[in-house]
A and B are shown apart, each in its own frame.
Chain A
Amino acid sequence: MSIRLYVLRRLVLIIPLLIGLTLLTFIISRVLPGDPVGLAAGPQATAEIKEALRREFGLDQPLPAQYLNYLTGVVRGDWGESLYSRRSVIADISTYFPATLELTITAIAIAAALGVPAGVISALYRNKLPDQITRVLALFFVSFPAFWLAMIFQLIFGLELGWFPVGRRFAAIETPPAAITGMYVLDSLLHLDFESMRMALSHLFVPALVLSFGSLASITRITRASMLEALDKDYVRMERAIGIPNRVIVTKYVLRNAMIATITIISLEFGWLLAGAVLVETIFDFPGMGLYAVESSLRLDFQPIMGITLIYGVVFSLINILTDVVYGILDPRIRYG
């Protein structure tokens, strides 16, 4: 089966999954024991106002009809609007998602830059001191509550050292680059505006560093394990026997084979960090999906909650497909089927 056909088949297969997910989010939103309409209408609202709101949001209809309305809306690109701000959910998501995406990309880049060399060192010094130290450090960093570490880093990097700004995506008095992708770093690069790029990056660095810690342990562990496996192969023994220098064997042959598993785990971790961003964004007042999710959930604003869950489902599924495709490209032995 060609890659194109394989991707197409996988894409078709996520449709029933996503329909299932809409059903799940719908059930979640309808078991809300609170009174979201009352909350949105405010304390002075009369019964008539609440009734009108309920009618407006279609909450007076029978549940199957409500679900069908929701589902057709989702397909048409109308994901409802917030009870609270009256803004369209899809519009909010398209503003907030690029911010989170940018944060996550930076974080995974940092995690890979730290985790892969750590895993390689660990494997080359198997069971010796450098190996032990790396493994402990990886477990150490992954054990911090991200939201707490974010506060501590704000204090250290922002207030004590003054190296980085510690909040928001951009200086409040400056205008961010005109949106093309909504990701400030990429947009400023496309505008060749390097001053803005520097500013966007400096805002990104500390939150991304905190976020990256969540993936350090697994990237290190998988890199170590796959390095060890590759080092054990017959071809390595053969290369040693014919006198190829160890440095060449490791960088040219072993690393390349070990990277297959590592790249797979990196792309899976990317999906998890996208979710982990929720906690980091809250601390850094970073206007992304996380802040949006937290605010909506505290207000029982169910339309955004449904939308956020759904968009995470879509992105997560796409990442999984992408992972499998990349895996197949890296390892030609794998046949799509």
Chain B
Amino acid sequence: MAEHSRETPSQDSSTVTLGSARWENIRRAAYRFRANPLAMIGLITLVVILVIAIAAPLVVPFPEDAAGKVHPTARLRAPNEVNYFGTDNVGRDIFSRVLMGTGLALMVGVVIIFLATTIGVTIGALAGYFGGWTDEILMRLTDIFLTVPALVLAIAVTAALGKGILNVMIGISLVWWPGFARMTRGLVLSLKEEPFVEAARGLGGGHLRVLFRHILPNALSPIIVKMSTDFGFAVLTAAALGFIGLGAQPPMPEWGAMINEGRDYFPTQWWVATFPGMAIFLVVFSWNLLGDGLRDVLDPRSRR
């Protein structure tokens, strides 16, 4: 009787414990994150940058300059009280263009990381879970992409697809996924031997359900860490392709392309190239601070 009465509530309490354990983990992680001043600085800067990205069209003095309106009489003005960052070679207000470019830069980063993660995690998960020929084929494909440094391959792919910001995003995503694939495969390989996977299979879960509902959620932390540390570099790579001339075409306010335009006037009219470069730096630096903090929080191996 006593045993029986303990059994029913224990099922209840175990789910409660499980749920609160997960909550407890998140709470602890958040605590560790808050205790990391650098990560907090990164997070706050990013929030500010996000606000700027959203508010830019409403607050910048010359929003039409981002769309390519030219002012031939106001060419290459040094920073002054009207044009805080000066004007470029066709008289556009650089302050307005840099701020209006924020949303574009963030969007490019988000799209690249989202696409690369989706492709990479899917391929890596399938390879790791099914093993055998699936694994062999998918991983040899991954290896081919990993043979060449991402930047070189991205240049080749984007050149082939044609200039433009959309092709830059596609090109970089196409060379960025292999890192995610290899990592996910490793995670899935070790997780699929766990008893809970066997339990889920035993309860009649189909392969894809077990893989995507049970295994992958447990592999999430390292994937999130990689997403956040990669984000800054994705922004940097996209800007690099813009700078080379393969990316966004004028008059789009893409920072890399703006630096390229400013190159001809550097260093005499230093402001044309300097401010977009500082903007790239700020975004990448705050992401790196955030990513570094997240790694400390979510990746137990680096927690020292």
Contacts and interface: CB of A to CB of B under 8 A. Distances in A.
B156 interface: yes
Contacts of B144: 17, 20-21, 24
A306 B158 CA distance: 13
Contacts of B244: 279, 282, 294, 297-298
B130 interface: no
B50 interface: no
Given A148-B277, A275-B149, A279-B243, A126 B160 contact: no
Contacts, number: 147
B159 A297 contact: yes
A309 interface: yes
B147 interface: yes
Contact of B280 (A139, A148, A154): A148
Interface stretch (A81-89, A311-319, A326-334): A311-319
A272 B158 CA distance: 19
B196 interface: no
B152 to A, nearest CB: 5
Which DSSP category, helix, strand, loop or mixed, fits chain B's interface? Answer: helix
Contact of B149 (A151, A152, A272, A306): A272
B240 interface: yes
Contact of A28 (B160, B288, B302): B160
Contacts of A279: 151, 240, 243-244
A101 interface: no
Contact of B246 (A159, A275, A297, A316): A297
A121 interface: no
A76 B141 CA distance: 25
A194 interface: no
Contact of B152 (A33, A34, A275): A275
Nearest to A273: B149
Interface residues of B, number: 48
Given A148-B273, A298-B245, A140 B148 contact: no
Interface in B241-281: 243-246, 256, 259, 263, 266-267, 270, 273-274, 276-277, 280-281
Nearest to B240: A279
A298 B246 contact: yes
A6 B103 CA distance: 50
Contacts of B285: 139-140, 143
Interface string A29-41: 1011110000000
A145 interface: yes
A274 to B, nearest CB: 7
Contacts of A149: 277
A34 B163 CA distance: 10
Interface string A281-300: 01100000000011011101
B236 interface: yes
A28 B157 contact: yes
Given A143-B232, A145-B236, A148-B277, A293 B284 contact: no
Interface in A81-120: none
B24 interface: no
Interface in A181-202: none
Contacts of B38: 132, 135-136
A146 B38 CA distance: 23
A151 B162 contact: no
B229 to A, nearest CB: 10
A228 interface: yes
B6 interface: no
Interface in A125-174: 126, 132, 135-136, 139-140, 142-149, 151-152, 154-155, 159
B162 A145 contact: no
Contacts of B156: 25, 28, 297, 305-306, 308-309
A72 B69 CA distance: 53
A283 B150 CA distance: 20
B294 interface: no
B259 A148 contact: yes
A293 B150 CA distance: 14
Contacts of A278: 151-152, 155
A186 to B, nearest CB: 24
Interface in A246-269: none
B198 interface: no
Given A151-B263, A275-B151, A225 B281 contact: no
B263 to A, nearest CB: 7
B55 interface: no
Contacts of A276: 151
A207 to B, nearest CB: 15
Interface of A: 14, 16-18, 20-21, 24-25, 28-29, 31-34, 126, 132, 135-136, 139-140, 142-149, 151-152, 154-155, 159, 217, 225, 228, 271-272, 274-276, 278-279, 282-283, 293-294, 296-298, 300, 302, 305-306, 308-309, 312-313, 316-317
List the 5 closest pairs (A to B, CB-CB), nearest first: A275-B149, A148-B277, A297-B159, A143-B285, A20-B144
Given A296-B159, A309-B148, 4 more contacts: A147-B243, A293-B152, A294-B245, A297-B158
